[in-house]
């Protein structure tokens, strides 16, 4: 999961995301250190997880997901694949433009939901 987060963080020209939950951060615009978390609870949970990770002897920048968080992420990845397959199937079947548009909008909505990591 570390690779996923690094890939997100590495796209600096794109929108920034909360380092805990992955939700999109509002555009900063202010001078100084950019915010890393969307809200105080995310900052707090990230601190607690970091402390627990350090007690476990893992590197400080290790990204640890609980089994439940990973299962949730996998569910949403599966939903994204289904939405993408719906678009591909409809296109292969020669679906009308309006239908393709509707399926593409669903795909975008599903992908947007995946920006949230937890």
Stretch in the footprint of Zn ion (CB under 5 A) among 17-25, 71-79, 80-88, 91-99: 17-25
The only residue of 20, 73, 86, 110 in contact with Zn ion, by rule CB under 5 A: 20
Q: How many CB atoms lie within 10 A of CB 55?
A: 8
Stretch in the footprint of Zn ion (CB under 5 A) among 2-10, 13-21, 73-81, 95-103: 13-21
**Minimum separation from the CB atom of position 86 to Zn ion (A):** 30
Whether 46 contacts 23, CB under 8 Å? no
Stretch in the footprint of Zn ion (CB under 5 A) among 14-22, 24-32, 78-86, 102-110: 14-22
DSSP reduced 3-state for 40: helix
How far apart CA 116 and CA 118 sit, in angstroms, is: 6
């Amino acid at each position: 999961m570390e690779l996923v987060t690094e890939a997100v963080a590495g796209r600096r020209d794109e929108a920034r995301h909360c380092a805990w939950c992955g939700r999109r951060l509002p555009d900063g615009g202010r001078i100084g250190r950019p915010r890393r978390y969307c809200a105080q609870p995310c900052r707090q949970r990230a601190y607690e997880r970091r402390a627990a990770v350090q007690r476990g002897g893992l590197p400080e920048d290790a990204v640890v997901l609980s089994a439940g968080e990973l299962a949730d992420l996998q569910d949403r990845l599966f939903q994204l694949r289904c939405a993408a397959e719906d678009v591909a199937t409809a296109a292969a079947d020669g679906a009308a433009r309006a239908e393709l548009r509707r399926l593409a909008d669903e795909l975008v909505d599903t992908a947007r939901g995946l920006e949230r990591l937890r």
